[in-house]
Amino acid sequence: MKPEEIREVFMKSAKDLLDYDEEGRGPANVAVRVESYELVGKNSILLSLEENIDDTLGAYLYVGDFLVLDKDVVSYSFYDRNTKTLGATIDNPGIIGMIAAEHPEMTVEFDLSFLIKNARDYYDEHGTLIGYPDTCPCFPEEDIVFPAKFSPSDQQRNAVRTILNSKLSYVWGAPGTGKTQMVLATAIMAYMRRGKRVAIIAPTNNSVEQVLRGVLGVIGSDEGFRRMVDPAKDIARIGTATEQFVEDYPYLCEGQSISMLISKRRKEIKLLKEIIQERELDVIASHFRALEVLAKERKQPADRKAKRDMDNQIDQLISEINAVLEENSLYSDLARDLTSMNFEHQLEAATQRLYQRDRPKNSIP
């Protein structure tokens, strides 16, 4: 096929898929139910998802049956695969108030049709430049070396032979048949043995990283491959890597991916600090109640020893309260004002400011 013919086939396929996907029927639309959620801080929310997700790319938050929050309203700060918890920031006080008051059901839905549109637009502009390779590769049998610890089947040998001696090839196999760790890894290493560079391209982040993990596993298990390839120098993960891949292989990833992970971690730390501060305020709430009781008892007639005991209790409670408030940038000024000499005058103002406000919940699902 000529480049013009390939472009025509691709453009028609993209149109057909987008038409089919228009009403949410196609593979580009995925929905994940939110099992529970908790508001944290002024505009943050923790979503506990029913199942794991690969990425927040193309994610929309559906609130109730009608309200859709897109990327202009909601941003995602972190995702924890172990607890299936997604942290988000909603930049709209009215929506936050509605969620707090009505407790609507939510779903996180993914519209990945933009990937199809991006590919369609690219082919529309550059499709005539994309065609089959001009020359056919040629790898004799002696240049095909399988990983030492594997014993390839005849089908796997034939697949590798076809890849390495064809302009274009298509390999199909059920999961677990060795397409990645046997066939693809062997073909890649054959090219690298000749000093060639290889680009691994896939439609999703997850697919690219699945292939990379398979290739890295083969390299790590074969001494000959290890001598030929140093992953830290010879392999680069281009584009936006998933959080888990950045954690596992930071030395393969572009700086952009590392920076994104650092940014996510900073937002996560900020959110967790808010949660911890709210929990600490809950702990000292009982201290304020105890001070109110002691303030009343102090006005009652009592002997010197009883007065001294009350003063000691007051000093201890105020010391513990101030230790918490001094670590909280929002309320550190209260620690300066609250002393054993004037605590009776400061109690009401302090408790109103700390507890008579719209407080966020203080736990992670």
Residue 359 pLDDT class (50, 70, 90 cuts): low
Is residue 210 over pLDDT 60?
Answer: yes
DSSP conformational letter for 242: -
Q: Taking residues 43-68, what's their average pLDDT? A: 84
* pLDDT of amino acid 219: 85
85 three-class SS: strand
Say if pTM beats, i.e. exceeds, 0.95.
no
Q: Poorest-confidence range of 167-171, 191-195, 334-338?
A: 334-338
DSSP at 239 = S
Q: How confident is the model at residue 105 (pLDDT cuts 50, 70, 90)?
A: very high
pLDDT digits 0-9 by tens, 269-327: 877 887 888 888 888 889 888 988 888 888 888 888 888 888 899 889 989 998 888 88
C-alpha closest to that of 113 among 8, 4, 16: 16
The reported pLDDT for the residue numbered 365 is 43
- Return the pLDDT at 297: 87
- Cα separation, 7 vs 142, in Å, equals 37
Q: What average pLDDT does this structure show over 194-216?
A: 87
Are 353 and 334 contacting, i.e. CB atoms less than 8 angstroms apart? yes
pLDDT of residue 47: 92
What DSSP string describes 142-176? GG----TT----HHHHHHHHHHTT-SS------TT
pLDDT at residue 169 tops 70: yes
pLDDT for 28: 56
* Contact present, 3 and 123 (Cβ < 8 Å): no
Dist. CA 38–CA 58, nearest whole Å: 23
Burial class (CB in 10 A: 0-12, 13-18, 19+), 80: middle
Average pLDDT, the chain: 84
Q: Which residues pair with 108 in a beta bridge?
A: 32, 61
24 pLDDT above the threshold of 60: no
Q: How far apart are CA 328 and CA 335, in angstroms?
A: 10
pLDDT tens, 231-281? 888 899 988 788 788 888 888 887 766 676 677 777 778 778 878 888 888
More confident residue, 81 or 162: 162
In the chain, which ranges are E strands? Answer: 29-40, 44-49, 59-63, 67-69, 74-80, 85-90, 106-111
Long-range contacts of 68-73 (CB under 8 A, 24+ apart): 69/95
CA distance 300 to 294: 10
Q: What is the pLDDT of residue 364?
A: 47
- Nearest C-alpha neighbor of 41 from the set 283, 271, 279, 267: 271
Percent of the chain with pLDDT over 70: 94
- Residues of the chain with pLDDT > 90, as a percent, come to 14
Report d(CA 219, CA 210) in Å as an integer. Answer: 14
Whole-angstrom distance, CA of residue 195 vs CA of residue 187: 13
248, with CB counted inside 10 A (0-12, 13-18, 19+), is middle
Secondary structure (3-state) at 77: strand
Mean pLDDT along residues 164-193 = 88
Residue type at 317 in one-letter notation: L
Specify the range with the lowest mean pLDDT, choosing from 48-52, 173-177, 333-337, 358-362.
358-362
pLDDT score recorded for residue 21: 66
Q: Are strands 44-49 and 85-90 parallel, antiparallel or unpaired?
A: antiparallel
Non-local CB neighbours of 62 within 8 Å, separated by 6+ positions: 31, 68, 69, 106, 107, 108, 109
Enter the tokens of residue 90.
């909603």
Three-class DSSP category at 214: helix
pLDDT at 197 exceeding the cut of 60: yes
